Amino acid sequence: NHKSDSRGALIVLEGLDRSGKTSQSSRLLSYLEGLNHSVESWRFPDRNTGVGQMISSYLANESQLDDHTIHLLFSANRWEKRSLMETKLRSGTTLIVDRYSFSGVAFSSAKGLDIEWCKAPEIGLLAPDLVLYLDIPPEKAAERGGYGGERYEQLEFQRKVAHSYQILRDASWKTVDAGLPLDDVEKQLREMVLDCVTTCQKGKVLSK
């Protein structure tokens, strides 16, 4: 039965801090809603859970944690949302997700943690149908109205994160020049997203 196979798409936005992911997530949400798609916008870390509050206080420099420990908390924060994520996708809702496992690996490996060790706790989370990379030079991102003052929001560190993302990126990712005006970025993302949503509606299998 074609209809029961129809599901939502798992669409992930990745990029450096200040690359515009949050603005583009909300624009994509409005766009898909306007086309009468069932869609939600999510973000990681989800700071509303108990684990999320620990992450939030770490990012605000209100607590100190070992690099491995915080890595596992970020991962746990994705795991605690996994079953809801699967339910939503299977019921036909598309999820636009601002950061996912790739952020986990990019940010922690930028600190010098072994990249394979970083990937391990992400195994078994749902695989995105589409990864959109908002590509911006770290220097340009830093110029954008300044950073918010959280732990990782420093040019030197963001340069390392950009390097980690280069290592992680593969041919399946779609890259957009995030230095372009917001409207131009949005236009490119719209096409990519619509294509993905349509493919998933036709019954593409959900994978891990």
Contact residues: ligand DGP, CB under 6 A:
17, 44-45, 59, 71, 74, 99, 103-104, 107-108, 150, 152
Contact between 18 and 141 (Cβ < 8 Å): yes
Question: Quick one: 9 or 107, whose CB is closer to Na ion?
Answer: 107
Question: Quick one: 8 or 15, whose CB is closer to ligand DGP?
Answer: 15
Question: Quick one: 43 or 204, whose CB is closer to Na ion?
Answer: 43
Nearest to 164 by CA among 120, 114, 107: 107
Residue 1 CB, nearest distance to Na ion (Å)? Answer: 39
Residue 92 CB, nearest distance to Na ion (Å)? Answer: 27
Q: Which of the listed partners (Na ion, ligand DGP, none) does 59 bind, with a CB threshold of 5 to 8 Å by partner kind?
A: ligand DGP
Residues 6-45 that bind Na ion (CB under 5 A): 17, 21-22
Q: Which residues pair with 135 in a beta bridge?
A: 177
Displacement of CA 37 from its chain's centroid (Å): 20
Instruction: Tell me how many residues contact Na ion (CB under 5 A).
Output: 3
Work out whether 135 is an interface residue with Na ion (CB under 5 A). no
Residue 58 CB, nearest distance to Na ion (Å)? Answer: 13
Question: Quick one: 7 or 71, whose CB is closer to ligand DGP?
Answer: 71
Q: Which of the listed partners (Na ion, ligand DGP, none) does 7 bind, with a CB threshold of 5 to 8 Å by partner kind?
A: none
Give a three-class secondary structure readout of 22-84: HHHHHHHHHHHHHCCCCEEEEECCCCCCHHHHHHHHHHCCCCCCCHHHHHHHHHHHHHCCHHH
Q: Which of the listed partners (ligand DGP, Na ion, none) does 8 bind, with a CB threshold of 5 to 8 Å by partner kind?
A: none
Q: Is the dihedral of CA 198, 199, 200, 203 positive or negative?
A: positive
Q: Which of the listed partners (ligand DGP, Na ion, none) does 58 bind, with a CB threshold of 5 to 8 Å by partner kind?
A: none
DSSP for 133-157 reads EEE--HHHHHHTT-----TT-SHHH
Residue 195's Cβ-side half-sphere holds a number of Cα atoms within 13 Å equal to 10
Residue 156 CB, nearest distance to ligand DGP (Å)? Answer: 13
Residue 193 CB, nearest distance to Na ion (Å)? Answer: 18
Residue type, 41: S
Positions that interact with Na ion (CB under 5 A): 17, 21-22
